[in-house]
Amino acid sequence: MDLFPLGAGTSVTELTGDPHPRLALLRAHEPVSWVPELSGWLVTRHDLATSVMRDSATFTVDDPRFSTAQVVGPSMLSTDGEEHARHRAPFTAPFRHGAVYEGFEAFIERETDRLISLLEPAGTAELRRSFAGPLSVAVVTRALGLEGTTTETVLSWYDAIVRSVSEISAGREAGPAGARAYAQLQSSVEATVAGPGGASLLASAAEALTVPEVASNAAILMFGGIETTEAMIINALLHLLQRPDQLALVRADADLLGGAIEESLRLEPGAAVVDRYATRDVVLDSVTIRRGDLVTVSLAGANRDPAVFPDPDRFEARRDNLRLQLGFAYGSHYCLGVHLARLEARIALRHLLERLPQLRLDPAHPAVPRGLVFRKPSALHVLWESFS
């Protein structure tokens, strides 16, 4: 392991704060590097990242150390092969491209307008918790058919579960809050499945899976749906408001908004890393990885690989190869809710930019993305001209 001095000098603190300079060094000199503070290998090059995520037979999620499974149990996120397909199949239909637009577009438009109407007169807001979070919760709750909950309750579950996953990923023992939140979510899922009508996605999934399995996958979809969408909205808005030239391009050509969101995902993916475990001894880029070793793929590192994305630290809404960005992962674990997340982010950003005149960052509250696993600002304070 002495062969990896850059990995030895890489800290969790650095990867949590601004990881990009360190990731660039690793990518250039140690693209597969042993990082003692992660107790595993860190992969930062785009081609190597895709090869790991593509090969689930060699690099699996099905390991008792997998952080999310420790919190919510086995699910589509923590299984591979036939078991993964069994967990995922009952949830796929509502998240296909056509079904998303038919089932959710009008609802997202209404909910976005409602939330902005509540904010509009004030001329100032913190958008993560007053807009992006509530919108994401409303959509994922509708998608699952989860009954008997409020936005505040679902957000509290999500916060606790994500915090536990992050603590485990950082090598710390998770506190009891995540387990309590998951138990409450499981009770809500059980009540929904047992409730009258049986028309919800959760009730439908219970025809193929056990109720505990439905609950585990509901937790994955819940915090995945909230985390992905909330981060997409907040990070993309931050990137645009920090770059007046790019914001002007998007305002002048609404068709560029989708590219701006993808470019934001490239620069700062909401999920910065994914974990895999080697099922056998394997050589990756001349490095020998032993069976059982943790292999962490840095999506943030791969997304700034200059071999794929020229001038990789620059934000460019018109970049022509954004289909190669890995913000939604790759391979069999490619994000199930990708179409829904993209639709939500486009509608949310379009309405914010159209309805809040002279929308700008609040200089009194600087916003910086942070997080080892999940990356976004803890808050995004903005100002606009209010005419009320």
3-state secondary structure 47-104: HHHHHHHHCCCCEECCCCCCHHHHHHCCCCCCCCHHHHHHHHHHHCHHHCHHHHHHHH
Print pLDDT tens along the chain (388 aa).
Answer: 679 999 999 999 999 999 999 999 999 999 999 999 999 999 999 999 999 999 999 999 999 999 888 888 999 999 999 999 999 999 999 999 999 999 999 999 999 999 999 999 999 999 999 999 999 999 998 998 887 788 888 888 888 888 888 888 878 888 899 889 989 988 988 888 887 766 789 999 999 999 999 999 998 998 788 888 999 999 999 999 999 999 999 999 999 999 999 999 999 999 999 999 999 999 999 999 999 999 999 999 999 999 999 999 999 999 999 999 999 999 999 999 999 999 999 999 999 999 999 999 999 999 999 999 999 999 999 999 987 6
- Which pLDDT value is given to residue 333? 96
- The torsion defined by the Cα of 223, 155, 64 and 54, in degrees rounded to 10, comes to 10
Chain mean position to CA 113: 24
Q: Which amino acid is at 261?
A: I
Which residues does 103 contact at the CB level (< 8 Å), separation at least 6?
94
- Which pLDDT value is given to residue 24? 98
- Which pLDDT value is given to residue 198? 61
Closest CA to 144 of 332, 337, 310: 337
Which residues does 367 contact at the CB level (< 8 Å), separation at least 6?
238, 361, 377, 379, 380, 381
Angstrom CA distances, 79 to 87, 127, 184, 204, stand at 8, 35, 23, 21
CATH class of 77-271+307-383: mainly alpha
- Which pLDDT value is given to residue 165? 85
